[in-house]
Amino acid sequence: MAMDKMKRRDALKAIGVSMVASGLLFHRCSNEKADRVVSRLNLDLKEGRELWERERLEELNSYTFFDPHERETLTELVDLIIPADEDSPSASDVKVPDFIEFIVKDQPELQQPMRDGLKWLDNYALQRFQGVFTGITADQRIDILDRIAYPESEHSEFMQGIAFFTLLRELTASGYFTTEAGIDYLGYVGNRPNVWEGVPVDVLRQYDLTDLIT
């Protein structure tokens, strides 16, 4: 995309922080579904689950929604959104495609938008570059995503693509930032006891309050 890798990661980090802070991560879910989103971190864990939870997980894991081509496209997309860098793994490295597979099966209302969006992406790639999304060059894939990820205006030609990418970006960030690697990247440590030692020195310097440094 137009932004470099680090800027993309910083932007996604901001999305992750805002999602955690606002509860947006679970805005599509009932309380029971939100519990299952959190539980995706350990989908194979059996202890501590009620019977209905185990049965539900077994049901969702008993079939596959995305076909192989859709899965290949999805994997390419999530890694374009959150690529690996020197500090952390890519989205596919932490199984974000598995997370999205799980979510669209758990929330069937997302299935058609995701499937239609992937079809739109292939159709646009064929029209513009004479190949499906996974069959064109990296620069060509980025060119397409720039048009729907950072649209200058919501042109009717791209409306479906923009809506799809907005949903995909949200799901990718949700999946990534509910993994150990994603939480580490956010720097989130939760509530921990500490000792108040005053305003940090770098903050005092930032606001020209160095006279308060003791």
Which tens digit of pLDDT belongs to each residue from 12-38? 555 555 555 444 554 444 444 444 454
Q: Which residues contact 101 (CB under 8 A, 6 or more apart)?
A: 64, 65, 66, 71
Distance CA 124, CA 122 (A): 5
pLDDT in tens, 134-158: 999 999 999 999 889 887 766 678 9
Q: What pLDDT sits at residue 202? A: 82
Q: Of 4-8, 149-153, 161-165, which range is least confident?
A: 4-8
pLDDT at 6: 46
Residue % of the chain over a pLDDT of 70:
71
Mean predicted confidence (pLDDT) in 196-210? 79
pLDDT for residue 88: 87
Q: 1-5, 67-71, 190-194: which has the minimum mean pLDDT? A: 1-5
Tokens of residue 141, six digits: 């894939």
Task: Kindly tell me the sign of the dihedral angle through the C-alpha atoms of 172, 175, 178, 182.
Answer: negative
Global pTM value: 0.70
Most confidently modeled range among 51-60, 76-85, 111-120, 181-190? 111-120
Tell me what the mean pLDDT of segment 111-139 comes to: 96
How do residues 28-86 score in pLDDT, each as one tens digit? 444 444 444 544 444 444 556 778 888 888 888 888 999 999 999 999 999 999 999 88
- Please state the rounded mean pLDDT for residues 119-148: 95
- Confirm if 8 and 1 have CB atoms less than 8 A apart: yes
